[in-house]
């Protein structure tokens, strides 16, 4: 039962990231095909990169085609439901935060299960959480969220770290995942609400010669 719930959370994360892809496509007035491209990249990109780096025998969505169907159905439904609707940017950020919170922890979970390494698990967690959104933004010619002032990858990192700490402490996978996801979501939503950011590198222009 526990692993079934974990699988449902994975499906949930896939769906909300797919929705965020369609929202970005809508902001750029893309057609249905453009929306599908951004949705598939957002929902599956991070996990694909994770599985390739972990040298998994089969990438998760090739092994379980359900993920492809979830992205396809969610994307098409969202595309037609949102046509002509004004979507506040904060709503997009909330959907993106939901996907980030689930995928960051699932990535850390899989990284630790495969390697047993804390550092690699943290990297896999952040990569799974942010890579898909980064690909989406690059394709849409936007500055990726991970490169902006917003607290984004930091939230992903802390959630992955909390999961690994809870796992080592002997907490069962489902409670550990839920608590860690809440950490990511809370940090990210607080950053959105309060406009929090990390220090910014600022260099003054200087003329040489």
Residue 44 near residue 14, CB atoms below 8 Å: yes
In a domain, 141, yes or no: yes
pLDDT of residue 118: 97
What pLDDT band is residue 197 in, cutting at 50, 70 and 90?
Answer: confident
pLDDT at site 57 = 87
Q: Is the confidence at residue 194, as pLDDT, over 60?
A: yes
43's tokens: 């929902």
| pLDDT for 88 | 87
Residue 32 in any domain: the answer is yes
Contact 188, 109 (CB under 8 A): no
**What is the phi/psi pair of residue 64, to 5°?**
-130, 100
Residue 85 is predicted with a pLDDT of 81
Q: Does residue 207 surpass a pLDDT of 70?
A: no
CA atoms 90, 14, 176, 161: torsion sign: negative
Q: What confidence tens digit (pLDDT) does each residue in 117-168 have?
A: 999 999 999 999 999 999 999 999 998 888 877 789 999 999 999 999 999 9
Q: List Cα–Cα distances, 48 to 10, 57, 58, 122, 132, in angstroms.
A: 14, 12, 10, 16, 9
Handedness of CA 28, 30, 32, 37 (dihedral sign): negative
Note whether residue 23 is domain-resident.
yes
Position 208 in a domain: no
pLDDT score for 98: 96
Query: Is the pLDDT assigned to residue 69 strictly greater than 70?
Result: yes
Count of domains observed in the chain? 1
In this predicted model, what pLDDT tens digit does every residue of 5-57 receive, in sequence order?
888 999 999 999 999 999 999 999 999 999 999 999 999 999 999 999 999 88
**Per-residue pLDDT at 209:** 45
User: Could you read off the pLDDT of 71-101 as tens digits, one per residue?
Assistant: 999 999 999 998 878 888 889 999 999 999 9
Within-domain flag for 199: no
Res. 62: pLDDT tops 50? yes
In-domain check, residue 148: yes
| 202 domain residue, yes or no | no
Q: In which band, very low, low, confident or very high, does the pLDDT at 205 lie, cut at 50, 70 and 90? A: low
| Domain interval for residue 77 | 2-194
> Do the domain assignments include residue 184?
yes
How far is the CA of 174 from the CAs of 8, 60, 67, in angstroms? 11, 20, 20
């Amino acid at each position: 039962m526990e692993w079934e719930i974990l699988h449902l959370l994975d499906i949930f994360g896939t769906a909300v990231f797919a929705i965020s892809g369609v929202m970005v496509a809508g902001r750029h007035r893309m057609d249905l095909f453009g929306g599908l491209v951004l949705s598939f990249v957002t929902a599956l990109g991070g996990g694909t990169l994770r599985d390739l780096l972990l040298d998994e025998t089969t990438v998760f969505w090739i092994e379980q085609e359900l993920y492809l169907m979830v992205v396809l159905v969610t994307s098409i439904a969202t595309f037609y439901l949102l046509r002509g609707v004004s979507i506040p940017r904060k709503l997009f950020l909330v959907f993106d935060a939901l996907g980030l919170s689930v995928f960051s922890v699932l990535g850390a979970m899989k990284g630790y299960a495969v390697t047993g390494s804390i550092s690699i698990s943290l990297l896999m967690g952040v990569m799974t959480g942010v890579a898909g959104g980064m690909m989406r933004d690059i394709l849409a010619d936007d500055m990726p969220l991970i490169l902006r002032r917003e607290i984004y990858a930091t939230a992903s990192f802390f959630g992955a770290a909390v999961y690994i700490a809870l796992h080592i402490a002997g907490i069962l996978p489902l409670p550990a995942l839920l608590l860690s996801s809440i950490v990511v979501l809370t940090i990210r939503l607080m950053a959105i609400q309060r406009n929090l950011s990390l220090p910014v590198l600022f260099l003054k222009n200087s003329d040489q010669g």
